Structure 1
Amino acid sequence: MTYALILAGGKGLRLYPLSRENRPKQFLNIIGNKSLLYNTLSRVSKIINNDRIYIITNKDFKKNIISESSDFIDESNIIIEPYNRETAVCIALAAVNLLKKDKDANILIFPSDHYIEECEKFYKVMNYAIDASDKKRAIIMIGIKPNIPNTGYGYIKIGDRVTSKYDFNIHGVENFIEKPNLEIAKKFILSGNYLWNSGIFCFRADIYLGELEKYLPNIYSSMMEIYKTDTKENQDTVIDNIYSGLEGISIDFGIMQKTRKAYVIEGLFEWYDIGSFTSFKKFLSQYDTNFTVGNILCEESKNCIIFGNDNLTITFGVKDLIIVNTDDVTLILDKNREQEVKYISNILRNARNFDKFI
């Protein structure tokens, strides 16, 4: 049986100050009138029955998750981590929970904070991934053809075509590169042999845990302790104890850069990782060469991205800036350094009297 797992424990630090520690981006209505998480649930529910949709998050976001997901799933389908230990660990925890329910569990994994245009091709690709992951006993990745040399995404170098179905090709994975610098990203675009890693995966729970045993044995052994628990109360206690000693690592670094079981399908649908201010451009109003939302007046300003509010924001004689106005914080940033925004929260934590603005 196939299950969906939505990853909803991220902090969205690259979108500060829109995204905050107590209400990160997946819970914000920043595209349309529903949150990114709600829209993800709506999209996934057209592929997988609601009773087989699970969300994994950390304990700090439990109330937010319950509020956003109540139209789709029961609270019992929310898996809680005591601490954020990154994606390799949270996926492993979900895998052992689903394996307890179903020894043949196949898992389709989605980030909670992406925008995907719903279309027939999207649903066909997902069904193809489900079929391929089960039959090939493989880790299936969905790749997106890049159109700009973005340094915020992982890249997949595609290998030989293995097979095709529904007009989609499945390729072997020759290499997996996590967030290259700009010059390398430009070379990837020119070669035509690379896809962006969309963060959408599909694999059997037992296959993933097998790769975990091979490449991250300490995490695997910890997960097996959780698997052996006999009641929820015992499991919660074991999880608390184990997580306090676990080091976090992403699935990209921990598994995907090492595994030989990976295949990739190109996702021929509209996809955006809402992980930076630049990624909003499609959804903002164009004001000459600037992209804006809110009450904005731009004079002699070029190539800026401006998030305003009810107050009037005026720019004059500036270029290549990101400006974000919220009720309590104003951010002005060189557009070429937007990937560094996540470090601001560390600065605020260490600055006296600024922690209330995180």
Structure 2
Amino acid sequence: MNTNYYAVIMAGGVGSRLWPVSTEKYPKQFHDLLGTGESLLQRTFNRINQLVPSENILIATNKRYEGLVLEQLPTISSKQVLLEPTMRNTAPCILYAALKIRQQNENAVMLVAPSDHWIENETKFIKNIETSFNACAKEDILMTLGIQPNHPNTGYGYIQFEENASEIKKVQTFTEKPNLEKATQFLASGDYLWNAGIFVWSVSSILDSFKKHLPEMVNILDTEDNVYNTNFEDDFIKTNYEKCENISIDFGIMERSEKVHVLPVDFDWDDLGTWGSLYNKLGKDTHQNATVGATTIFKDANGNMVSIKNGKKVVVQGLQDFIIVEKDDVLVICPRKDEQDIKQLRTEAKDNFGEEYV
């Protein structure tokens, strides 16, 4: 494996739209949502480890999940876990990781990937990442992977690229989650891709971009003392991280930079952010019902998503296109078309039942 290859897996989110299975104490990246025998985090780590040495893979997460990360990834050391003392979105976290990697290897190229995505064709994925690594090692560019859209999804951001003969395209514009009319137009135009939030760049390129676009953040986290990978790192981060602006890498860097490129990819990707996206990836019976963790009988029932822990027996009659999810003391029943409302339902449950249920 190439020792200049590094990766940062972002594993700090709560996954509120997959409540009640995903909770603040045990969020979705630590669950085996598809019944594969691996959590989403484990699957992501093992996928990336096909290309990046395990000692070069960093896990960025919240302090409260340190134990879960080390339990699920026993081959890594605690020094590979970047603990965010407070939530500050993705830009400060990526800057922290880049500074830590630079201290180890100034020639590093790094992948930034979410921990909760599902990728069906891992061979294609690895080939695409290798293509991106090679390009970023040679050129001063920031790269993102763009997913070929197959329907006008309003839950994803979109990337417009300049059409040319090369495999890697220059990015023209980023558009945050559009309405259905715009998403339909984007799909028809043929020059838009879904923004998967998967990035590749050299450490020098991304640090130069931070200096140009977010210089205050660099002044906070980049010190002459070289605290990274020393015994002083934890205390330094605890003291200074909260001073950083709460901003995403998309808003802070990617939408401001002139050197952003995209590689159009097609490796059967899904952002497992909702019960609907999970439903799409699961096997179905002849009436399009999907089940995880339960033994089910469906009578006059079609298009339902059932997720129950501990092999419970479940009988569903007369329901069409519903989500039925049980976790411990919480049962949620919701139409699939209203899956985006689960985030709000979670908030109401927190207010009415207490924090321990979310």
Confirm or deny a common fold (TM above 0.5): yes
Establish whether residue 10 from structure 1 lines up as the match of residue 13 from structure 2. yes
Q: Which residue of 1 aligns with 2:48?
A: 44
Establish whether residue 304 from structure 1 lines up as the match of residue 304 from structure 2. yes
CA distance in 2, matches of 1:231, 1:91: 16
Q: Which residue of 1 aligns with 2:281?
A: 282
Cα offsets for 1:202-249 (capped at 9, x unmatched): 001222122223333332222224875377343322211222333422
Partner SS state of residue 232, structure 2: helix
Contact between 1:87 and 1:250, CA under 8 Å: does it hold in 2?
yes
- Point out the more displaced range, 48-57 or 318-327: 318-327
CA distance in 2, matches of 1:89, 1:340: 29
Cα 1:225/1:324, change in 2 over 3 Å: same
Establish whether residue 186 from structure 1 lines up as the match of residue 184 from structure 2. yes
Aligned residue runs from structure 1 range 1-358, under 5 A: 1-31=4-34, 32-71=36-75, 73-161=76-164, 163=166, 169-225=167-223, 228-229=226-227, 232-280=230-278, 281-293=280-292, 294-309=294-309, 310-351=311-352, 353-358=353-358
- Point out the more displaced range, 124-133 or 229-238: 229-238
Contact between 2:92 and 2:241, CA under 8 Å: does it hold in 1?
no
Superposition RMSD on alpha carbons, in Å?
2.2
CA distance in 1, matches of 2:175, 2:111: 22
Contact between 1:300 and 1:317, CA under 8 Å: does it hold in 2?
yes
Cα 1:114/1:231, change in 2 over 3 Å: closer
CA distance in 1, matches of 2:179, 2:241: 32
CA distance in 1, matches of 2:192, 2:26: 34
Cα offsets for 1:25-72 (capped at 9, x unmatched): 11111220111111111111110112212111111100011011113x
Identity %: 34
Q: How far did 1:319 drift?
A: 2.9
Q: Which amino acid aligns with 1:28?
A: H
Q: How far did 1:105 drift?
A: 2.0
Partner SS state of residue 9, structure 1: coil
Q: How many residues align?
A: 351
Q: Which amino acid aligns with 2:149?
A: P
Cα offsets for 1:273-309 (capped at 9, x unmatched): 1111111222243351333332333333343322234
Cα 1:289/1:126, change in 2 over 3 Å: same
Q: Which residue of 2 aligns with 1:166?
A: none
CA distance in 2, matches of 1:107, 1:274: 23
Q: Which amino acid aligns with 1:234?
A: F
Cα 1:296/1:229, change in 2 over 3 Å: same
Contact between 1:86 and 1:248, CA under 8 Å: does it hold in 2?
yes
Partner SS state of residue 177, structure 2: coil
CA distance in 1, matches of 2:303, 2:181: 22
Cα 1:283/1:318, change in 2 over 3 Å: closer
CA distance in 2, matches of 1:226, 1:278: 48
Contact between 1:287 and 1:298, CA under 8 Å: does it hold in 2?
no
Kindly report structure 1 stretches of 4+ aligned residues shifted beyond 4 Å. Answer: none
Q: Which amino acid aligns with 2:118?
A: Y
Cα 1:242/1:67, change in 2 over 3 Å: same
CA distance in 1, matches of 2:241, 2:343: 24
CA distance in 2, matches of 1:194, 1:114: 20
Q: How far did 1:253 drift?
A: 2.3
In structure 1, runs of 5+ residues without a counterpart are: 164-168
Partner SS state of residue 118, structure 2: strand
Contact between 1:96 and 1:227, CA under 8 Å: does it hold in 2?
no
CA distance in 2, matches of 1:20, 1:227: 38
Contact between 2:299 and 2:317, CA under 8 Å: does it hold in 1?
yes
Partner SS state of residue 69, structure 2: helix
CA distance in 2, matches of 1:314, 1:323: 11
Contact between 2:157 and 2:178, CA under 8 Å: does it hold in 1?
yes
